[in-house]
Amino acid sequence: MNKQTHQTDQTIKIPGIVKPISIGLITHCKGYGNYTLIYRLGEKYPIVSSWTLKLFEKQLPSFLRANKSTLINHRHIMSIERLDGRSLEFMLANDGPVMVARRRVQGIRAKLAQLQNQQESAASFARLA
């Protein structure tokens, strides 16, 4: 099973949480020191985890590191705005805007292009099957 195309079927086990969480339902993660808040689609309150954002970044390779404290699921980005010559802002499905650090803009553009190519390849393969 392709991890990128079936992300909603994938789950992640978080310490202290009994049931695994569907990766596709995670909209974004916010780091606060040694803790991370995990925001999910359709949920009012985030899950608090003792994992750092860096650990989540390793566990969720298709997510985008927008800035020092935010990790975003690219599937929940509603729009991307270019603010000035070098800054970007993401509008998320269930939350407000998230600023992208200027130093991360180029890497995020490359990763978005890579993710789009993977999705197109998977769609072509699915049509052939």
Residue 26: how many CB atoms within 10 A of its CB? 25
Burial (CB count <10 Å: 0-12, 13-18, 19+), residue 45: exposed
Mean pLDDT of 27-49: 94
Tokens at 53, concatenated: 């954002």
- What is the tens place of the pLDDT at every residue in 5-25? 444 578 999 888 889 999 999
Distance CA 18, CA 118 (A): 32
- What is the tens place of the pLDDT at every residue in 67-114? 999 999 999 999 888 887 778 889 987 778 899 998 998 899 899 888
Burial (CB count <10 Å: 0-12, 13-18, 19+), residue 31: buried
Distance of CA 23 to the CA centre of its chain: 9
Task: Catalogue all structural domains in the chain, each as residue range(s) with its CATH number.
Answer: 7-128 (2.40.50.1020)
